[in-house]
Chain A
Amino acid sequence: MTSPLALMQRPGLRVRCEHFGALAWSANPRKVYRLDHAATAALFLHSRPRPVNMQAPPIGTAGLTDDAWQRAITGLCQQGLLQPSTATPAAVTAEDIEVTRRTLGEGTPQCPVLKPLWVHIQPFTRCNQHCFHCYCHGGPNADPFLLPVQTWQRVIAMLDDYGVLDVYVTGGESLLYESFFTIAEDILSRGMGFGLSTNATLLSGRILGRLRDLRIETVQVSLDGAHAAVHEQIRGAPGSFSRTCEGIARIAGFSAPVINTVVSRVNLGELEDIVKLGKEHGCARFKFFPQKPVGRSGAALTLDDGEIMHRLVPECARLAAAHGVRIETIDPQQPCGSGSIGFALDQRADIYPCIFGVADPGQRCGNIITDDLDQVWFGSPLLGRFRGEVATPCRRCEP
């Protein structure tokens, strides 16, 4: 067997500079890689086939010794980010070094802040339900403002160019939004991660077929009670309980439904029954996060810290073990990612640190259409405050 003459960057790899070096990722298989500065320089230079035994080039990256270079090449090869190539290797030129130096210099943030990994977008707030905990005042008579779908497609292209990995679409009821599938297909065709949240009451055969065609790994369904009276009281939607349960079962036929329950003092005692009901309908994963005192939520029904830490969190652990399911809730050991690794866009494409802040004008940081995202992300004092002061329980972000 002939030894390869060259090494080259794996096709289809995406890379973005970070303060520690770079983040690289692939869409299929979906994996993410953290690269130090030496590995970043090596990966950039191998966008063309390079000699197997290449020495460290004089790029000027701090600490780029021959030893660091060789360890970087070894690491990149072990992870498959550099691959053998039989193409004729090209020697590194002075121009290659200058381009790499400029790319790294201009692209690397000067402060220790990660670029956003995910974005929530909320193209509209109209909904066929009227939940008492809705953070964006959604409902049948919600703000009818809509941006043209072409604008959202430009925004998605911008997020993709910026290196955002995942985009979650929320509302309002996503399946009421006439351009939902256009946006979903756009996100997925770019290889970005995609998430959908729905109340599952509008699943006609046609919509189910289109959802199935999207091949979404998970669909999040809102279920706020294990009994019709509780669920429908919370969601302000008489007759919706049975349709949601049917919807969960239908989604389980082609995807993995995730039941999302907004936990308040009204349904805290229902969680075990929700788990049992979900399992009966093909669901093995649950999200039991507490209601936040934002939007229409009332503080009187919102769990306090004691209820969150001493009732909700232990109960989720107990239920997960007892029923063999996965339950996500607040974890006191984990930081909140809002504003630090992700942000939200409301229906006007205004930027907020967190999707739960879109009803609060005081949390608006800018607009992704009219402002420079890079300047907002790295320069907004409000986002800076989120990075420094907000941790779980996430209700700490209340004003």
Chain B
Amino acid sequence: MDQASQPVTAYESVAEAALDLGHRTYSGTVAATLRRTEADDVVR
């Protein structure tokens, strides 16, 4: 069973929780933004 299907996941710190939860919740939009950012850098 992977971590995503575990009923309970423990984090050792708020920072670790923030990182994982942030990625799980906003990963789609953030990934899109990173791709845009990289493209912008290339243009520059």
Q: Using CB atoms and an 8 Å cutoff, list the residues of chain A in contact with chain B.
A: 19-20, 23, 25, 30-36, 38-39, 68, 71-72, 74-76, 78-79, 81, 112-114, 117-118, 165-166, 193, 305-306, 309, 332-335, 337, 340-342, 387-393, 396
Given contacts A72-B7, A305-B44, A393-B37, 14 further A-B contacts (CB under 8 A): A30-B14, A34-B8, A34-B17, A71-B7, A72-B8, A75-B8, A76-B8, A81-B8, A117-B18, A306-B41, A334-B19, A335-B23, A337-B22, A389-B33
Chain B 5-40, CB within 8 Å of chain A: the 1/0 string? 011111111101111111111100110011001001
Residues B13 and A68 in contact, CB atoms below 8 Å apart: no
Residues of A within 8 A of B7 (CB): 35-36, 38-39, 68, 71-72, 74-76
Question: In the complex, what residue of chain B is closest to A72 when comparing beta carbons?
Answer: B7
Residue of A nearest to B41 (CB): A305
Q: How far is the CA of A23 from the CA of B21 in the complex (A)?
A: 10
Are B13 and A32 in contact (CB-based, < 8 A)? yes
Contact B25 A112 (CB under 8 A): yes
Q: Interface residues of B, CB < 8 Å — how many?
A: 28
Most A CB within 10 A of own CB, among B13, B21, B41: B21
Provide the residues of chain B in CB contact with A76, threshold 8 Å.
Answer: 7-8
Q: Which residues of B contact A334 (CB under 8 A)?
A: 19
Q: How far is the CA of A389 from the CA of B30 in the complex (A)?
A: 7
Asked if B34 contacts A391 (CB within 8 A), the reply is yes
* Nearest Cβ on chain A to B25's Cβ, whole angstroms: 5
Instruction: Report how far A152 CA is from B43 CA in the complex, Å.
Output: 47
